[in-house]
Amino acid sequence: MSDNQTLEMPLTSPIRTEDLTKVYRLPRGRVKKALNSLNIDVPDAAIFGFLGPNGAGKTTTIKILLDFLRPTSGRAILFGKPTDDYKVRNLIGYLPEQPYFHPFLKPLELLSAHAALAGMDPTQAESAAMAALEKVGMVEYAQIPIRKLSKGLTQLIGIAQALVGHPRLLILDEPTSGLDPIGRRRIRDLLVQLRNEGCTIFLSSHLLSEVENLCDVVAVIKNGSVVTCGTPDQIRSANTYLKVYTGPITSEDRNRLQFLSLHIDQQAGHTIFKTELKNAYELFRAMEQLNLQIARVETERESLEEAFLRLAA
Amino acid sequence: MKPIWTIAKLSLLENSRKQIFHVLCLMTFAVIAGSTLLSIFTEGVKIKILKDLCLSCILFAGAMLSIGLGSTAIPNDVENRTIYPILARPIARWQYILGKFLGTVLTVAIGIAALSAVFGVLIYCYQGRFDTFLPVAAAFAILEAAVIAAVATTLATFTTAAVAAMISFMVYLLGTVKIGYLAKLLERTPNPIAKLGSQAVYHMLPNLECFNLKAALVHSDSVPGVYLALVTFYGLCYAAFAVGAAALIFKRKEI
């Protein structure tokens, strides 16, 4: 067994960043602050959603975690070790966004090579590769060159590649990108299973419904700093919305109701008024004055997508 | 060693799919076609010219392959993003660099070995016996290619593939004329600062001429074992130094 494989099981946080800052030097003396004192602490055996708009610093964070980039100040710690300790990466599986692999390789060859890079001997490597392919349902494609596989199947190969070597931490950048609903479901189930087996999953995704259903903890970042971090329930806040369905309304009535910061929508012959629950009294009073017939009333909790738009837009 | 070998193997497989073997085939045909024109010479001269032609072709092909593959190996991995899943594995950056370098050298060595085999048969056809010194000369052509590949790999860690290829080619040209032309140029430089600068460049450039055993092959001269050992030592040290520099530069590089 190699040095890499004899690393002790970690007791510390899989990922912790302390005031992580990254400044890119651009041409003509300009600078861009990609990360600004980013602090995150990823709990063990949890699915951690890492959200943020484009350019918020998600990829930069991942690249620093994997030592592709160096922080300008602050530090990132993986399982209690600095990111430049390459041996710690024996505990990590990584799926880059839109993964690209040597197109001439067959999935089994690619995964065996990655298993060898993880320190396994050839026989171990091949069985580890097959096991990873089995987990993502790709055994039947094991001997087909990657260049002949579709984007979705290549994505599954990428996920299998990340799973090689039973990592304790999976860093996945848009793992379900390009997958059909069946593939997405399979990967969702797989991630839950891995989490239940004690693996920590660091998930960067733009599919907020997926993050909402899957993640135990979510951090939203904006301009390189954490805006909020907590369970999806905590992030969605206590904001509950009221949805009132009426018949069609005139534009005059619509204007009169604007003072409540309403979201007014037309759908299947109904007009739908959406506002925060605290505005219910004013809304019903205004509707009574305008003599609007109420067809249905619903309450709706803020979705993660709405929370994300509120926090990160 | 395992990760280094795995990266070298991947690099070898990748290189073998590039169109380098087309270049080798072209050169082989050029030499074979050229050899048919030798009939105007007398028997002894004909064989000498053929050997000269063959080894020149081997040395040139080795250098061009080393420059082409060495200068593109790392930039291509970064550009195609194949480097990320590899460096996310528990491997040190120097292991990656060494693996890529070995992959390049292995590919070039296979190419040179194939060329040497074809030319060996060609010389046999003309001479009526195998030239036992050809494999030795080919081995030193591989060593020269390794030195050039090391230079190209080092340059590719901090410049683009095109710039690395261009500078490597210049190093190859200067390295092959170093002993003769550069030494004379150095003697004639009157300005002491220019002389110092030229001396620095002179000592940094690889002396590629020492790997060229063409004269010995053509004239069937014997080469002292000590000379061969010293040249081998020099080549290995130079390549090790260049790859070490590449590893140091790449260790600090952000990708």
Q: Of the candidates B82, B84, B88, which has its C-beta nearest A102's C-beta? A: B82
pLDDT value, residue A237? 66
More confident residue, A76 or B216: A76
CATH number at residue A203: 3.40.50.300
Claim to verify: residue A213 and residue A257 sit in the same structural domain: no
CATH number at residue A281: 3.30.70.980
pLDDT value, residue B191? 78
Domain boundary among A203, A231, A259: A231
- Confidence check: pLDDT of B212 > 80: yes
Please give the Cα distance from B108 to B24 (Å, whole number): 10
- Confidence check: pLDDT of A5 > 50: no
What pTM value is reported for the model?
A: 0.85
- Residue range B225-231: average pLDDT? 94
Claim to verify: residue A295 and residue A150 sit in the same structural domain: no
Claim to verify: residue A212 and residue A242 sit in the same structural domain: no
Reference A18, options A35, A1, A31; nearest CA is A35
Domain that holds residue A282: 237-312
Most confident of A11-15, A44-48, B27-31, B41-45: A44-48
Q: How confident is the model at residue A43 (pLDDT cuts 50, 70, 90)?
A: very high
Q: How confident is the model at residue A3 (pLDDT cuts 50, 70, 90)?
A: very low
pLDDT value, residue A1? 39
User: Looking at the 3D structure of chain A, how many domains does it have?
Assistant: 2
- Confidence check: pLDDT of A48 > 50: yes
pLDDT value, residue A304? 81
Q: Of the candidates B81, B85, B92, which has its C-beta nearest A114's C-beta? A: B85
Claim to verify: residue A296 and residue A222 sit in the same structural domain: no
Reference A224, options A68, A38, A39, A67; nearest CA is A38
Claim to verify: residue A272 and residue A157 sit in the same structural domain: no
Contacts of B17 in chain A (CB under 8 A): 104
Distance of residue B141 Cα from the nearest chain A Cα, in angstroms: 30
Claim to verify: residue A86 and residue A39 sit in the same structural domain: yes
Claim to verify: residue A27 and residue A57 sit in the same structural domain: yes
- Residue range B97-108: average pLDDT? 96
- Residue range A271-282: average pLDDT? 84
Q: How confident is the model at residue B244 (pLDDT cuts 50, 70, 90)?
A: very high
Reference B137, options B62, B246, B43; nearest CA is B62
* E-assigned strand segments in A31-188: 31-42, 47-51, 73-78, 81-82, 92-95, 169-173
As a whole number, the mean pLDDT across chain B is 88
- Confidence check: pLDDT of B114 > 70: yes
- Residue range A189-196: average pLDDT? 93
Q: How confident is the model at residue A6 (pLDDT cuts 50, 70, 90)?
A: very low
More confident residue, A20 or A29: A20
Reference A273, options A302, A241, A244, A239; nearest CA is A244
Claim to verify: residue A122 and residue A267 sit in the same structural domain: no
Claim to verify: residue A216 and residue A299 sit in the same structural domain: no
Q: Of the candidates A68, A86, A102, which has its C-beta nearest B14's C-beta? A: A102
Q: How confident is the model at residue A49 (pLDDT cuts 50, 70, 90)?
A: very high
The ipTM of this complex is 0.82
Write the pLDDT tens digit of every residue in A137-186: 999 999 999 999 998 899 999 999 999 988 999 999 988 888 888 888 88
- Confidence check: pLDDT of B194 > 90: no
B5 neighbors B99 (Cβ within 8 angstroms): yes
Write the pLDDT tens digit of every residue in A228-267: 898 888 887 666 788 889 888 888 888 877 777 678 888 7
- Residue range B156-176: average pLDDT? 93
Claim to verify: residue A256 and residue A217 sit in the same structural domain: no
Please give the Cα distance from A153 to A172 (Å, whole number): 16
Domain boundary among A231, A250, A270: A231
As a whole number, the mean pLDDT across chain A is 87
> Is the CB of B6 inside 8 Å of chain A's CB atoms?
yes
pLDDT value, residue B179? 63
pLDDT value, residue A7? 46
> Is the CB of B1 inside 8 Å of chain A's CB atoms?
no
Cβ distance of B81 and A96 shorter than 8 Å? yes
Distance of residue B184 Cα from the nearest chain A Cα, in angstroms: 42
Best interface-test mutation with A: which of B19, B78, B84 has the largest number of A CBs within 10 A? B84
Claim to verify: residue A185 and residue A270 sit in the same structural domain: no
Domain boundary among A186, A209, A231: A231
Claim to verify: residue A307 and residue A284 sit in the same structural domain: yes
